Amino acid sequence: MSLERDHSGDGPLVAAIADRTRLQDDLYVRYRRPLLQVFLHRRIARDAAEDLLQRTFLQGIKKIRADGLDDPTNLGGYLYRTACNLAIAYWRGELSREYDRDEESLSNLRDEALSLEERLDHEKLAECVRTLMGHLHQQRDREVLERFYLREEPRTAIRQSLQLTELQFNQVLWRARQRFGDILRRHGVAGGERTGTVQTTGI
């Protein structure tokens, strides 16, 4: 079963934004989390990322209300490009501190729009990760995670030194992700659903 969601809902959403109906709140629910990751991936600190998120949404809303989108079914693509451009401007120091905030457009965030880090406090999250590292049965799995995420070694170097095939490397990651999902669910956090399958025999 694919958990993928298509963009077919973007058309009505774009119309709702243009018409200023309540449905426009779905804009934040649908796109806040992915756009936040886009900014975090570009090493933009969380508070600055929040600011850029607001700018992204405001720019999108203004564009829809002023000119409309060339392809209303691809609102996600438009917001993504806008976010990328804002990230570049941020790193060039080109963004003014003040911008035209439109408080009317910005809603209170519903739970579905919050990221994992916003739903679970930092101490709890750190505890979940410690539990994960303690529950990995194989020393090799722990070593892979530490070298990949702590020491940030290239995966080819890790694979070569541990004599892992690409499939085996991916299986280590898959097992860790499944275990982390279980731990999160025990802490009452949704979002740890199992996604996809990877062959786990013969390792």
**168 lines the binding site for other proteins (CB under 8 A):** no
Assess contact for 195 and 189: CB atoms under 8 A.
no
DSSP 8-state secondary structure symbol assigned to residue 43: T
Assess contact for 136 and 125: CB atoms under 8 A.
no
Number of residues that bind other proteins (CB under 8 A): 65
**137 lines the binding site for other proteins (CB under 8 A):** no
Q: Which two tokens stand for residue 103?
A: 């408080």
Distance CA 158, CA 184 (A): 27
Identified binder of other proteins from the candidate list 13, 17, 27, 38, rule CB under 8 A: 38
The 87-126 contact track toward other proteins, x by CB under 8 A, reads xx-xxxxx--------------------xxx----x--xx
Identified binder of other proteins from the candidate list 65, 77, 101, 160, rule CB under 8 A: 77
- One-character DSSP codes across 144-183: HHIIIIIS---HHHHHHHHT--HHHHHHHHHHHHHHHHHH
**129 lines the binding site for other proteins (CB under 8 A):** yes
> Kindly report the CA angle at 188 between 187 and 193, in degrees rounded to 5?
100
Residues that bind other proteins (CB under 8 A): 2-7, 31, 33-35, 37-38, 40-45, 47-48, 76-77, 79-80, 84, 87-88, 90-94, 115-117, 122, 125-126, 128-130, 132-133, 145-146, 148-150, 152, 154-155, 170, 173-174, 176-177, 180-181, 184, 191-193, 195-196, 198
